[in-house]
Amino acid sequence: MFKWEFVSEFLKEKNINIKKVKYYVEINELQNLNNSFKHSDNIKDDSRITAIKEFKKRHL
C-alpha cells in the first residue's frame, strides 16, 4: 500500500482538507491499526491501538 502522506499531500494539492473527508477518523484509525500489525511486537501496548475507541478496555 502506498504511503498515507502521499494521499494527504495529493488532497492538499487539490485544496481538499483531509480532516473534513467523511470517515477520516475511521480511515486514519485503520491505517494506524495496519501499521501496528506490521511494525509492533506487542500491539496491546501500542498507543496507536489503545487510542481507538473500539479497542479501549478490551483484552487484545
pLDDT tens over the chain, length 60 residues: 458 789 889 999 999 999 999 999 998 888 888 888 888 777 777 777 878 888 776 665
The pLDDT, as a whole number, for residue 34 is 86
Confidence at residue 54, expressed as pLDDT on a 0 to 100 scale: 82
Q: What is the pTM of this model?
A: 0.67
How many residues comprise the chain? 60
Residue-level pLDDT at 1: 46
Residue 48 makes CB contacts below 8 A (sequence gap 6+) with 32, 33, 35, 36, 40
What is the per-residue pLDDT for 58?
Answer: 64
Cβ contacts of residue 4 below 8 Å, gap of 6+? 28, 31
